[in-house]
Every structure is written in structure tokens, then in C-alpha cells.
A and B are shown apart, each in its own frame.
Chain A
Amino acid sequence: MKRWLTSSAGIGYLLILPSLVVIFSIIIWPIFYSVYISFHKLYLVRPGEFPFVGLENYIKISRSPVFWAAIGRTFYFTGVSVGVSIILGLGIALVLNQDFKGRAFVRGLIILPWALSSVVNGMMWKWIYDGSYGALNGFLLQLGWIDSYKVWLADPRVAMNFVVMAEIWKETPVGVIFILAFLQTIPSSLYEAAKVDGASPWHRFRYITLPLLKPIILLLIVLKSVWAIRDSFDIVYMITRGGPAESTQVVTFYAYLTTFKFLRFGYGAAISYLITLIILVFAVVYMRLVYTETLYAETI
């Protein structure tokens, strides 16, 4: 026993044990318990009743137009916010990679939106969008683009886009930071050589920077999609609470309403489990990317 404990493997297990216990009890085990609950009917208002209903919750969900609409909105929210924030982030990173005075200062500041909590971010944008006193209305009025203040968040056709804009503002810095960090790892000799060969700035970007950035952009797409699905709850909760007319009700918010407002825990667990499955698809892609990337970096 003592010899095993002093062996490399023994110590290896010993050192990861505390972490494993914590992760297993609060994350891994609940994932399975969640499946178990989702096969039952569980209303917190009626304790003691916990009938097994098999796949009933899942069948109900698959036939629920509200659920599918929420899924659609989630994909819209995720797709647009991730797409725009990555393109914007790439543009900003390329500018900040140039030589200019105050570069370190601006680069340092770029982290600011990331440091704000999603709650403060949501509150801040809700206040900016405000229909009676909001800064957006004041600004547009002064520019002469609108004649009178508009209640932006009351229009079901555009409310979602305003929520997405708030998410884009907060999430862009992460992309900038990733891309900037990666740009610094590209050896300048590559550019020097290309310059000597007469490649124009556009060609250098197109044939050196972009191909090298491709894996990091793929990674960002996966990571940011997962984060966007996760953050969608906070931002919707703060800005619109799913309204107007359910037009911003993303699936994470729908799961919350079902579970903690209508107290249908079984049904809510089934919805949550479907969210987990979507995330797992991204997680598998992420792990493959990280593993190949890490190996790639180690061989250099």
C-alpha cells in the first residue's frame, strides 16, 4: 500500500481525487440525475408524487411549437452574435496589431466589456435602449435620424436584434484577445520573406495571416457558441424577460420559466437535457480542435 502511494500513479490519483470528487458530485452526477428526473413527472408544489412517465416529457416537447420556436431563436441569437463578434473581433485585432501611439493602452482597455458581468451589461443596454429617456434615442434624435423617441424593445420584429447587439458588444473583446495573442505567435520572418517577394499587404493577409488564423477562428466559433447559449439566459432575463410576445424567448429562458416559474421540474429537466445534448456536440468538436491544436503547437 505504501509503495503504491509513493509511486507516480498513486500520487497522480491522490492529487486529482479532491477535484474529481467536487466535479463528480456537482456536475457529472447531476447530468445523469437530470435524465432520471426527465423520465418522471415532478411538480414541486405536489411533493411525494413522482410518477414515472417514460418518454412522455420528450414526446410533449417534440410536439411543442413553443419549444421549437425557442430553439430557433437560440440558434439565431447564437449564430448572429458569434458571427458578427468574430468578424468584428478579427477587424479590431488586425488594426490593433499595427503600429500606432498608445497601442498598449488601447489593447489593455479592450478587455473592459469582458470584465462586466452579464447582469450589468444587460442593465446598461436596457437603459441605453430605453424608450423614454434612453441614450440611443437621444443620440439618433440629435443626428436627425428619428423624429421622436421610439420604444425599440416593444417591437417583436426587432427586439431580438437589440438583445443580440448587447451580447456582441460584450463578447467581441474575447475574439480580439484570442486573435491578437495568436497574431503575435506568427513569426515576423514570414512577413519579411513575403515582403521581399513583393507580396502586397492584402496578399500577405490573404495567404499568410488568414490560413494561420483558420484553426483559432474555428476554435472561437465553437467556444463562443457554447458561451452564447450559456449567456443567452442572463441577457434575455435582464433586457426583455423573453418578451415582447415571446419574441426573445430563447430556449435557456424557456427552460427557466418552465422549471422555476411553472414548477414543472420533469418537463424542465427534459428541456435542459436537450440543451446539454446540443452543447455536447460543440464540446466534442472543441476537444478535437484543442487536441490537434496542442499537438500542432508542440511539434513546432
Chain B
Amino acid sequence: MRKVEMKITGFLKHLPAYQVLIYTLVVLIFLFTIVPFCWLIISSISIKTELLSVPPHWIPKNPTLRSYKEILFGGTRTTRAARYFKQAVGNSIIVAGSATVLCLVIGSIASYSFTRLRFRGRHSLLLMILATQMIPAVAIIIPIYVVMMTLRLLDTHLGLFITYSSFVLPLMIWIMMGYFQTIPIDIEDAARIDGCSRLGTLVRIVLPLAAPGLAATGIFAFIVAWNEFFLALILTQAAAKTLPVLVSEFSTKFGADYVMMSTGGVLASLPPVILALTFQKYIVKGLTGGAIKG
């Protein structure tokens, strides 16, 4: 009886039907994943009349990069938008970049400390950091806003940079602990026996070994900070406005200019999408780190 069943399942596996089913499902998954974003890209390279026909031209007959040119270099309609766009890109790079760097520096040493050093209160502090990772910005935005207002840090890079750092830091500490755990403790012991101090071991041995992991965590943090919207919406007005806030205004600013709106959306997505697809393996590790120790 068992043998028969085995034969049947073995046979089923080689039957074309099984293959057909799998490939059909894979194609569906593939389309589910890319079609919405592809439509945004197509919208951004279409000309208006084709896009607004009923039903729309799914494949544009006259694809054009005009809207990209206008948004990046200024054009007849959009000189102001172009200027805002460049400024917002600059703001996003400054804020997300500096928050990533700060978190890498202070987060990596904290993460190492939690992984390798034993001190009182270690567990409860770690639990606290884990818990803060879950607090949504909307829950504590009011005190942050009031403080930033008092310190005159509203609409400044500095204000946003500090806030982003604190929101990214707990997650980074947690992810990096996974990387520090993979470094064999024997290497550290050997360095210590050779007369290296604890801090010397950390700086000269452990951090270089953990560098790939740290870089991966940095990319992860950069994407999160780059995409952040709520804090930037509340804490910036004009000078420090980041790209997501500007993109959110596009739909109102350009009225029904769907081409321009889509172009803004695609451009804002390029850095995180390219980073995520290139460093996909590391992002996966970052996302699942802590939860799954494979």
C-alpha cells in the first residue's frame, strides 16, 4: 500500500501537470510583484493623451523621458518643481545618510557590548531597546514636536537627523547582534592573550571582521530612513523637506499631471529599490535577523 502511494507521488512529480501548475503559480507571483510598479514606470514615460485614453494604452506608442528631463533639469512647466525636487533629494541624502552613519558608529559598539560583555541590567536594557523598536512615531510625535519647537530645530536637518537616528538605532543594535554572534570568541581571546586591550580588540579585530554585516545593516537603515514619511511630514516645512514629503505633495501640486506624479514616484523609489535588489541577501538577513537564526 505504502509502496503504491510512493509510486503515485513520485509519478505525480514528473507529470507535466505538476510542472505546469508550479510555473503558472510562479508567473502569477511574478506579475503580482511587478505589475503595479511597472504601471507606475509606464505612466512616467507615457504621453498624457495615451495615458488618459479609455482604456489607457498599456504599452505606450511614443515613450518619452521628457518628464524625467523636466523634473531633473527644469523645463517649461516645472522649473520650481525641479528646484524643489533637487533640494528634497539633497535633504533626504543628508538626513538618511548622517543618521545611518551615526547609528553605525554608536550602534555597533552598543551591539557588541550587548553580545559579548556581561554587566548588570544587560537583559532589561536589551528588552527595553526591543520594546522601543515597536513604538510608532505617531505615538510620541507630540513631545518630540514640542521639544523641537522649543529648541528651534523644526524644519532643520539636525532635528530630523536626531529623530531618525533614535528610531533606527534600536533595530540596528538588534540586527547587528546577529553578526557579532557569528564572530568566534577564540579570535578575541587570542588577541587578548597577545596583549591587546578590550577596546583595542574591538577596534582592531572585531569591527573589521564584522564589517560586511555592519555595511549590510547600514544599507537596511538607509532604506528605512530614506522612506520615512510621518516624522518628516510633521517636523519639516520647507527648508528640510525630504523626498517622501515632496512626493506626497506632487498629487496636489500638479493637479492632474499623472505623468509628473509618476515620475516623482519612480525617482524617489530608485535608490531603495536598487539597493534592495542588489543587496537582497543582506536585506533578508536584516529583516529576519534576531527572529530566525539559521
Interface residues of chain A, those whose CB is within 8 Å of chain B, are: 6, 8-9, 11-13, 15-16, 18-20, 22-23, 25-31, 33-34, 37, 92, 95-96, 98, 100, 102, 106, 108-120, 122-128, 130, 132-133, 135, 137-139, 141-142, 149, 169, 173-174, 177-178, 181-182, 184-185, 195, 197-198, 200-201, 216, 219, 223, 226, 229-230, 233-234, 237-238, 252, 255-256, 259-260, 265, 268-269, 272-273, 275-276, 279-280, 282-284, 286-287, 290, 293-294, 297-298
Contacts and interface: CB of A to CB of B under 8 A. Distances in A.
Contacts of A259: 141-142
A79 B8 CA distance: 40
Interface in B272-286: 272-273, 275-277, 280, 283-284
B287 A177 contact: yes
B277 A115 contact: yes
A111 B251 contact: no
Nearest to A195: B6
B179 interface: no
Contacts of B37: 112-113, 116, 124
B138 A252 contact: yes
Interface of B: 2-3, 5-6, 9, 22-23, 25-26, 29-30, 32-34, 36-37, 39-40, 43, 51-52, 54-56, 106-107, 109-110, 112-114, 117-120, 122, 125, 127-132, 134-144, 146-147, 162-163, 165-167, 169-170, 173, 197-199, 202, 223, 226-230, 233-234, 244-245, 247-248, 250-251, 258, 261-262, 265, 268-269, 272-273, 275-277, 280, 283-284, 287-288, 290-294
B26 A95 contact: yes
Q: Sorted from nearest, which 7 A-B pairs have the closest CB atoms?
A: A138-B55, A26-B166, A117-B227, A115-B276, A12-B117, A12-B119, A30-B143
Contacts of A223: 291
Given A116-B273, A185-B294, A37 B142 contact: yes
A95 B32 CA distance: 14
A6 to B, nearest CB: 7
Contact of B29 (A33, A92, A149, A174): A92
Contacts of B22: 95, 98, 100
Contacts of A279: 134-136, 139
Given A8-B198, A287-B127, A119 B244 contact: yes
A26 B169 CA distance: 11
B268 A37 contact: no
Nearest to A121: B36
A177 B248 contact: no
A6 B198 contact: yes
A12 B197 CA distance: 14
Contacts of A34: 139-140, 142-143
A178 B26 contact: no
Which among B22, B119, B273 has the highest number of chain A CB atoms within 10 Å? Answer: B119
A255 B144 CA distance: 15
Nearest to A36: B143
A294 to B, nearest CB: 7
A169 B143 CA distance: 33
Contacts of B199: 11
A81 B277 CA distance: 25
- Secondary structure class of chain A's binding surface, majority of residues: helix
Which residue, B3, B228, B230, has most C-beta atoms of chain A within 10 A?
Answer: B230
Contacts of B51: 133
Given A114-B276, A123-B248, 19 more contacts: A9-B119, A11-B199, A15-B109, A27-B167, A27-B170, A34-B140, A37-B143, A96-B29, A110-B29, A112-B37, A115-B269, A119-B244, A119-B248, A120-B269, A127-B40, A139-B55, A142-B55, A177-B288, A198-B2
Nearest to B120: A9
B30 A109 contact: yes
Nearest to A176: B29
Given A25-B166, A117-B269, A133-B51, A95 B173 contact: no
A61 B228 CA distance: 29
Nearest to B8: A200
Given A12-B119, A37-B142, A111 B280 contact: yes
Contact of B283 (A30, A111, A195, A265): A111
Contact of B146 (A12, A37, A106, A110): A37
Contacts of B166: 22-23, 25-27
Contact of B36 (A23, A31, A128): A128
Nearest to A32: B143
B3 to A, nearest CB: 8
12 contacts: A117-B244, A118-B227, A119-B227, A119-B229, A120-B269, A124-B265, A127-B40, A133-B54, A138-B55, A178-B291, A279-B139, A297-B292
Given A15-B113, A27-B167, A127-B258, A219 B26 contact: no
A201 B294 CA distance: 24
